[in-house]
């Protein structure tokens, strides 16, 4: 059998289940650290419940993903990263298997290089047809960060008081949010006063800025518009955060519509 015939025959098995995200559908990728509980508590023993070194590794990995794959917003909390891509994104022709594997591979490599040892992420793609669903997705992850932070601070407070992992988990099992806040307060911790990045995660997004340059023809100093990634450790809360995400989505849709009009003219 000639190579071309063999190649055509075998590629059917490789591509038979190639699914793509439809045009006009928002793409959000969520990456999660694999086995990070053991990695951070046993192998490297990061400070619990939050460690600035780990935070910075996650921030750097998110920034790398945004830069490499041109995402318009990145959000990270705990051991997870969420990326929002432009509505007109054609990365890997929007193929799910490519998006999942390449994004997970890049995140794993970037984090591992920063850590200095093995680490891996998995990836799943959320296909969101409407802008409101994009807002709801990031609001969901933002609220999840808040719930997890409260529980984590309570859990490690009990562990430092001498309780076992099992006893500390059981003690928090049926406690309400108010009960958990009160538990911390009784030990001198006001949850509201903790750093916002611990309670609400970290956002990364592009911002425009003026960079001073020099015009060799006129001999004058000039300002040029440039773009850079901003790391936001003080994300807004609740409805204000929803409005913030909605603004990012609306700006992206405006750019997409303008490009569509320009391409037709």
Domain ranges of the chain: 26-140+191-200
| Beta-bridge partners for 262 | none
Phi, psi of 89 (to 5 degrees): -55, 130
Per-residue pLDDT at 15: 72
Q: Label the pairing between strands 121-128 and 80-84.
A: unpaired
Rounded Cα–Cα distance for residues 140 and 87 (Å): 20
- Lay out the sheet containing 26-33: strands in order across: 121-128, 26-33, 80-84, 73-77, 202-215, 220-232
Q: What is the mean pLDDT of the chain?
A: 94
* CA 240 remoteness from chain centre: 19
pLDDT at 189 over 90: yes
Per-residue pLDDT at 11: 83
Rounded Cα–Cα distance for residues 29 and 125 (Å): 5
CATH topology assigned to domain 26-140+191-200:
Alpha-Beta Plaits (3.30.70)
Task: Concatenate the DSSP letters of all residues of 74-133 into one string.
Answer: EEEETTEEEEE--TT--GGGGBHHHHHHHHHHHHHHHHHHHHTS---EEEEEEEE-SHHH
- Listed residue (61, 87, 110, 84) closest to 205, CA to CA: 84
> Which CA distances in Å does 77 have to 138, 141, 142?
11, 8, 8
| 229 three-state secondary structure | strand
> Structure pTM?
0.91
- Listed residue (189, 193, 144, 187) closest to 163, CA to CA: 187
pLDDT tens profile 142-178? 999 999 999 999 999 999 999 999 999 999 998 999 9
Q: Which residues contact 224 (CB under 8 A, 6 or more apart)?
A: 210, 211, 212, 213
**Percentage of the chain surpassing pLDDT 90?**
82
Mean pLDDT of 38-57: 96
């Amino acid at each position: 059998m000639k190579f071309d015939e063999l190649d055509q025959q075998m590629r059917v098995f490789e591509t038979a289940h190639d699914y793509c995200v439809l045009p006009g559908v928002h793409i959000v990728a969520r990456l999660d650290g694999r086995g990070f509980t053991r990695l951070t508590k046993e192998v490297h023993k990061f400070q619990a419940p939050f460690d600035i070194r780990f935070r910075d590794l996650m921030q750097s990995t998110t920034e790398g993903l945004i830069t490499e794959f041109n995402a318009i917003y990145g959000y990270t909390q705990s051991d997870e990263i969420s990326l929002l891509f432009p509505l007109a994104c054609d990365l890997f022709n929007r193929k799910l298997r490519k998006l999942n594997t390449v994004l997970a591979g890049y995140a794993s490599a970037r984090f591992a290089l920063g850590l200095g040892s093995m680490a891996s992420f998995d990836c799943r793609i959320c296909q969101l047809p409407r802008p409101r669903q994009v807002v709801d997705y990031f609001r969901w992850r933002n609220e999840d960060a808040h719930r997890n932070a409260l529980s984590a601070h309570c859990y490690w407070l009990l562990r430092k008081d001498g309780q076992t992992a099992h006893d500390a988990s059981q003690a928090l099992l049926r406690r309400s949010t108010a009960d958990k806040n009160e538990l911390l307060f009784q030990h001198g911790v006001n949850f509201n006063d903790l750093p916002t990045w611990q309670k609400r995660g970290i956002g990364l997004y592009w911002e425009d800025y003026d960079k001073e340059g020099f015009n060799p023809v006129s001999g004058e100093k000039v300002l040029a518009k440039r773009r850079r990634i901003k790391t936001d450790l003080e994300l807004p809360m609740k409805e204000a955060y929803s409005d913030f995400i909605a603004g990012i989505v609306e700006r992206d849709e405006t750019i997409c519509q303008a490009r569509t009009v320009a391409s037709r003219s």
